[in-house]
Structure 1
Amino acid sequence: MTHRTHTPPSPPRARAEIDLGALRANVRALRARVGVGTALMAVVKSDAYGHGMVPCARAAREAGAEWLGTATPQEALALRAAGVGGRLMCWLWTPGDPWRDGIEAELDMSVSAMWALREVVEAAREAGRPARIQLKADTGLGRNGCQPADWPELVAAALAAQEEGRVTVTGLWSHFARADEPGHPSIAAQLDVFHEMVAYAEKQGVEPEVRHIANSAAALTVPESHFDLVRAGVATYGISPSPELGTSRDFGLRPVMTLSASVALVKQVPAGHGVSYGHQYLTPQETILGLVPLGYGDGIPRHASGRGPVLVGGAWRRVAGRIAMDQFVVDLGHDTVEPGAPAVLFGPGDRGEPTAQDWADAADTIAYEIVTRIGPRVPRVYSGETAENSALGGTGASE
């Protein structure tokens, strides 16, 4: 008989700690900001901006978000498969997508063009039940959405399909291009176009449950854009949509993700020693180097080589040399830490660590990208769960 010795699990080389308590507090803060009469949609697309879609969706619901939003139908259907109920909208459809599955899952599905309306009507015919659709207007973003010149045709066709019992038009909506730029004239211009397109549709007989155009930036700073519903994306995760608008703290929000790793190696090297590929960094003196086991394979932006900030041994360090696929180096100077010591790349910032915005500045990008790009090789570890979320499987790796 073979006896096996139980080996306790080793600590992860890296982890993304997701504070669901902070997420719920952010949702409550956003609900208070938009006020009575305006519903809140928590956007959980792209794996909840890298935070883990299912646990975050459940936490947002618990905190009072009346709607959830995803980009793709596959994301929305995955939420339904996980048992997440309630109003759920998805907007990035392509020809041949699973419209019938969306109908049967009771999704609110965005329609921006005649081809999409034709496909959803055919799916409703096959399903034997009407589809819930929301008509999207292109008010100036120039991305998805129906142009004003094509709006009368789409509205007329949607109303005809509704009369036939194939669809129910539940919403009219659009999206800002520059709401993160305070006072930009395009904001008022898009609002004017949205008012006109909504008024036209309603005059023709559309009776939407919700009209919405506000994203996180507009939800926080453009109250006249709130209408019946606001869509809170990055703000749900405690990140300001733009440094020009204010910090997370200015808006009463707390970043939800803390990314850290265990230092893998500490060693002393002489002055003039090259560090990482290309030797873009040469040690200026005899120094101690620390190896952090995260790299661009985990979503750490290579553009932040030589600039990305890390809290190690109680002090800020900068990435020394190039960020590689699986690792990067920090110069500890005359300090030393033990292997296994924490290296915190970003978090809320109130414990001395950098923030996602600090990394965005270092990589010349936006904080949205920093958190969203953290890959599946980094386990998500959840805290602040309710009994309900935990019982439904909210812990563990990202879902």
Structure 2
Amino acid sequence: MAPEIQPPSHHFSPEQRALLYEDALYTVLHRLGQPEPNHVTEASELLRYLQEAFHVEPKEHQQTLQRVRELEKPIFCLKATVKQAKGILGKDVSGFSDPYCLLGIEQGVGVPGGSPGSRQRQKAVVRHTIPEEETHRTQVITQTLNPVWDETFILEFEDITNASFHLDMWDLDTVESVRQKLGELTDLHGLRRIFKEARKDKGQDDFLGNVVLRLQDLRCREDQWYPLEPRTETYPDRGQCHLQFQLIHKRRATSASRSQPSYTVHLHLLQQLVSHEVTQHEAGSTSWDGSLSPQAATVLFLHATQKDLSDFHQSMAQWLAYSRLYQSLEFPSSCLLHPITSIEYQWIQGRLKAEQPGCSLFSGSWYRCAR
């Protein structure tokens, strides 16, 4: 009979392990968004995996799970980045527009059906349905059909099942004299625009299109181009808008989240789960090749996303965790190559941004949380 393989110590005290376990359970219980391909869908399967990975007895697991269920829910947020748009309508005499976006979340009225078609056919969705204090606005990009914003907004919501994201794009209408407009005239289309503008109120912005999405249809992370609606016979193509979304927790009720930097908690969770993955392979007389099980990959992805950890800090945590475990566990040194390559790539590409104020690479605080 093969001897039982004991999990290696990572210098976590029983209290630290309990807090880490609580935070991992909280992550699964307050999951947001549609599952990623190849990720585990069922919460029960993830909870069983965590119980095994932390070596928790059934009775203790049920007690901890009940305690975590009774904790206050996190503040749910949609982190929305308006990247850019292309091929939008030209509403000015010059043939260009001065676009800006209004965006927000409508809570309490779900978009009916599998697609938000009926809502998209409305103009000025944001102005008509979302309170002004909950409406966000991008900068105005002047004289373009392909604006670039790259602006990020944090939008709170209460219930993902009946919340929808709304974005309206507008052309800023500046009051100009007829003489100025005639000076910009380039073709007959421009002349028609002058007559059209003369019939509307001064300072009335032109509607360029909108994007309406149900939050429950989004995955934890999205990065897509969305067509501007409504597409009609008059405007069959209004252009596209590039949006990035991330479903995050603004505040978590666990002791670990309240007392430790997000990076530190994620690093410790990585160590615990990777150690479990390695020992599971050793128990089966096979060597670990660096691939995480779907359960481990799902939990770590959810944890990093909910805590809004940048890709750089996730790669750094992975490299540090693997480096430490490499000293006591047997697995190929090539497992260290991927995270360090990812760190190098992001560094060269200039992707290191101050997204995690408590974990700046060149500050003592980062060094302390990485230790």
Larger radius of gyration: 2
Task: Pick the structure with more strand per residue.
Answer: 1
TM-score normalised by the shorter chain: which range applies?
Answer: under 0.3
Task: Pick the structure with more helix per residue.
Answer: 2
